[in-house]
C-alpha cells in the first residue's frame, strides 16, 4: 500500500545534512513538527515548523528530559489508519497523523569512548528518541521511521524520486534499520552498566559488515563484522579474504608483543618466521631465514616503518599481506610493483581483552591471553641457572610458543625462531618436528633454548632436547612428575625455569 508523507516529526542530535531533507519536505508541502535545537535549526532554514509544545499544550520539562513523551505525539505515530476505532479516537482527542519520524539518538557510544564522566554518560541515554523509533517502526504500515543520520540519504532519494510516496517495502526496510539502531543502542547501554555486575549474558553488536569473497573455502560464505577503517589504511592490493583476516589478526597480535624491531611471518595463524634485530631489515632477513619454504604466500607483520632497504629485501618474495605502522615513500613504490600484494598501514594498536568462539549451541567467552612471562617470573628449578643471553632468548621463546597452536614447541637462538612445531597431539612429536625443521634450514641448535606451552608429563622431551644441543628450557611446571624432568635437566647440565603459566591455544 502506498502512503503519501503529509506530516513529519523531526528530533535529532546531529544536524549534518538534515538541511537537504528539511528543504525537500518543505518543497513537498509536508507539515513539520519539532522541538528544542532541531526546531531552531529548521526555523533558521526559513522553513515553517510547529513546536511539539504547541501540539501537546505541554512544555518541555525536567531540563529537556521530557519533550515528546505525550499521547498526542505517540497517538499520531501509532494510530492505525485502517482501524476505525483508532481513527475515531484520534479525531476525538484531536491527534494529528504523523507519517514520518526522523530521529538521531544522543551519542551514548561516543561519550563512553571519549571517557565522559558517569553523569555525562547517563545524560546521553536517549529516552524520547528511542521511544519514537520503536513506535514508528512498530507501525511501519502507516509510518516511515528514519532512525539514524546514516539513512538521510535514503530518505532524500525517496522524497526526490517518488515525491514523498512510499510503499510497504520502503517502510518495512526503514523499520528494520530502525530496530537495528535501537537494539545496538540498548546493547551498548547494557554492556556499560554490566561492567560493574558481570551478568553472565552474551550481548555484542556491530553495525558494520562487509561481505567477503568467500569464507575459509570457496564454497563457504564469509562476512566480517566490524570497521577495519578504524585501524587500517589499505594502500595497495586486492580485498582482504577471510583467511587473510585470520592471519592478519594472528600476525599483528604476535608482533605487538615485542619492543625491538621485529618481523613475524605467518602461515595459517602460526609463525613460520620470527626474529628481533637492531634494524627492521635485519629482522626481516632473520625471520625469512627461519623457514624460507613456508614464507611463500604468507602474511608479514612488522613493528617499525618499512624503509627502502627492507622493501627491496621483501620484494623478491611472494607474500599475500604486509602490515606495518608506516612506509617510506620509496619503499612503498617498490612494494606496489605487485598489484595484488596487500599493503596495510596499521593506524593504531588493538587492545583485545576478550576472546569469543561459537560452538555447540552457544558461545564461549574467555579473557584474552595477554600475559607473557619475563625473567622476574622465572623460577629456576635446576642446579644450573640460565645465562643472561639464555634468559633473553627464553623470554622471546615464551612469546613465540604462546602464539602457536597446542601442542607447541619453540626453539630460539639469538632472538630468532630457528625451529618450531605446533598443533600436535604429542609434545614429543612437536619437539622432534621442531628439531627436524631447524636442521632442514641449516640451524645449529647448540646453545639454543626451548619453550613449551604446557608442562612435560615425562622427562622424554628434556632428554631429546639435550641430544639436540639445547641448553635452557622454560615450561609452566605443574606435572606430578616435574621432578623427573628436573632430574634429567640436572643430569644433562641444562638450565630449566618454571613460569607457572600455561599457554594452551586451540
pLDDT at 178: 96
Q: How many CB atoms lie within 10 A of CB 162?
A: 14
In order, the DSSP letters of 124-144 are: TS-SHHHHHHHHHHHTTTT-E
What radius of gyration, in Å, describes the C-alpha atoms of the chain? 31
Q: How many whole angstroms separate alpha carbon 35 and alpha carbon 54?
A: 10
Q: How many whole angstroms separate alpha carbon 103 and alpha carbon 125?
A: 14
Q: Which residues are catalytic?
A: 138, 268
Residue 245 C-alpha cell reads as 583476516
pLDDT at 58: 75
Q: How many whole angstroms separate alpha carbon 41 and alpha carbon 23?
A: 12
Q: Using alpha carbons, select from 43, 52, 16 the residue that is nearest to residue 156.
A: 16
Residue at grid coordinates 595459517: 268
pLDDT at 105: 92
pTM for this one? 0.86
Sign for the pseudo-dihedral over CA of 236, 237, 239, 244: negative
pLDDT at 85: 93
What is the chain's pLDDT, residue by residue, as a tens digit (506 residues)? 899 999 999 999 889 889 999 999 999 999 999 988 899 999 999 999 998 888 877 777 777 777 777 888 889 999 999 899 988 988 898 889 999 999 999 999 999 989 999 999 999 998 889 999 999 999 999 999 999 999 999 999 999 999 999 999 999 999 999 999 999 999 999 999 998 888 888 888 888 899 999 999 999 999 999 999 999 999 999 999 999 999 999 999 999 999 999 999 999 999 999 999 999 999 999 999 999 999 999 999 999 999 999 999 999 999 999 999 999 999 999 999 999 999 999 999 998 899 999 999 999 999 999 999 999 999 999 999 999 999 999 999 999 999 999 999 999 999 999 999 999 999 999 999 999 999 999 999 999 999 999 999 999 999 999 999 999 999 999 999 999 999 999 999 999 999 999 999 99
Q: How many whole angstroms separate alpha carbon 22 and alpha carbon 16?
A: 12
Alpha helices in 195-221 (DSSP H): none
Q: How many whole angstroms separate alpha carbon 336 and alpha carbon 356?
A: 35
pLDDT at 198: 80
Report DSSP state, residue 306. B
Alpha helices in 268-374 (DSSP H): 280-290, 308-315, 329-335
CA 171 to chain centre: 32
Amino acid at each position: 500500500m502506498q502512503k503519501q508523507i503529509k506530516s513529519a516529526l523531526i528530533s535529532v542530535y546531529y544536524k549534518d545534512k538534515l538541511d537537504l531533507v528539511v528543504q525537500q519536505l518543505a518543497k513537498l508541502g509536508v507539515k513539520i513538527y519539532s522541538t528544542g535545537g532541531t526546531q531552531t535549526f529548521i526555523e533558521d532554514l526559513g522553513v515553517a515548523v510547529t513546536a511539539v509544545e504547541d501540539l501537546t499544550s505541554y512544555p518541555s520539562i525536567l531540563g529537556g528530559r521530557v519533550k515528546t513523551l505525550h499521547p498526542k505525539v505517540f497517538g499520531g505515530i501509532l494510530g492505525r489508519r485502517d482501524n476505525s476505532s483508532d481513527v475515531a479516537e484520534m479525531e476525538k482527542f484531536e491527534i494529528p497523523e504523523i507519517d514520518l519520524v526522523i530521529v538521531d539518538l544522543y551519542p551514548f557510544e561516543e561519550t563512553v569512548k571519549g571517557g565522559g564522566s558517569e553523569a555525562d554518560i547517563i545524560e546521553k541515554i536517549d529516552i524520547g528518541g528511542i521511544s519514537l523509533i520503536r513506535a514508528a517502526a512498530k507501525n511501519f504500515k502507516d509510518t516511515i521511521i528514519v532512525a539514524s543520520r546514516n539513512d538521510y540519504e535514503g530518505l532524500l532519494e525517496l522524497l526526490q524520486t517518488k515525491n514523498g510516496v512510499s510503499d510497504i517495502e520502503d517502510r518495512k526496510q526503514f523499520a528494520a534499520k530502525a530496530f537495528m539502531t535501537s537494539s545496538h543502542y540498548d546493547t551498548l547501554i547494557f554492556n556499560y552498566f554490566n561492567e560493574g555486575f558481570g551478568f553472565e549474558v552474551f550481548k555484542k553488536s556491530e553495525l558494520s559488515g562487509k561481505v567477503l569473497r568467500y569464507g575459509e573455502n570457496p564454497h563457504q560464505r564469509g562476512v566480517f563484522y566490524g570497521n577495519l577503517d578504524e585501524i587500517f589504511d589499505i594502500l595497495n592490493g586486492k580485498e582482504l579474504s577471510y583467511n587473510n583476516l585470520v592471519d592478519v589478526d594472528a600476525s599483528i597480535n604476535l608482533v605487538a608483543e615485542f619492543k625491538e624491531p621485529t618481523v613475524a611471518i605467518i602461515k595459517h595463524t602460526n609463525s613460520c618466521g620470527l626474529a628481533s634485530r637492531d634494524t627492521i631489515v635485519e629482522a626481516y632477513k632473520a625471520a625469512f631465514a627461519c623457514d624460507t619454504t613456508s614464507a611463500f604466500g604468507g602474511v608479514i607483520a612488522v613493528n617499525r616503518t618499512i624503509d627502502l632497504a627492507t622493501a627491496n629485501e621483501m620484494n623478491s618474495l611472494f607474500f599475500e599481506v604486509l602490515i606495518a605502522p608506516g612506509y617510506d615513500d620509496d619503499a612503498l613504490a617498490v612494494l606496489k610493483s605487485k598489484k595484488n600484494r596487500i599493503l596495510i598501514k596499521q593506524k593504531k594498536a588493538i587492545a583485545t581483552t576478550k576472546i569469543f568462539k561459537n560452538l555447540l549451541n552457544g558461545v564461549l567467552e574467555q579473557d584474552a591471553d595477554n600475559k607473557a612471562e619475563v625473567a622476574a617470573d622465572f623460577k629456576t628449578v635446576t642446579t644450573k641457572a640460565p645465562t643472561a643471553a639464555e634468559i633473553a632468548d627464553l623470554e622471546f621463546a615464551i612469546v613465540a610458543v604462546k602464539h602457536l597452536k597446542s601442542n607447541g614447541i619453540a626453539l630460539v637462538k639469538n632472538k630468532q625462531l630457528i625451529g618450531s612445531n605446533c598443533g600436535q597431539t604429542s609434545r614429543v612429536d612437536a619437539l622432534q618436528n621442531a628439531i627436524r625443521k631447524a636442521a632442514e634450514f641449516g640451524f645449529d641448535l647448540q646453545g639454543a633454548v626451548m619453550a613449551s606451552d604446557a608442562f612435560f608429563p615425562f622427562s622424554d622431551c628434556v632428554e631429546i632436547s639435550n641430544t639436540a644441543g639445547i641448553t635452557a628450557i622454560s615450561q609452566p611446571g605443574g606435572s606430578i612428575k616435574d621432578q623427573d624432568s628436573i632430574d634429567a635437566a640436572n643430569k644433562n647440565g641444562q638450565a630449566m625455569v618454571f613460569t607457572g603459566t600455561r599457554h594452551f591455544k586451540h
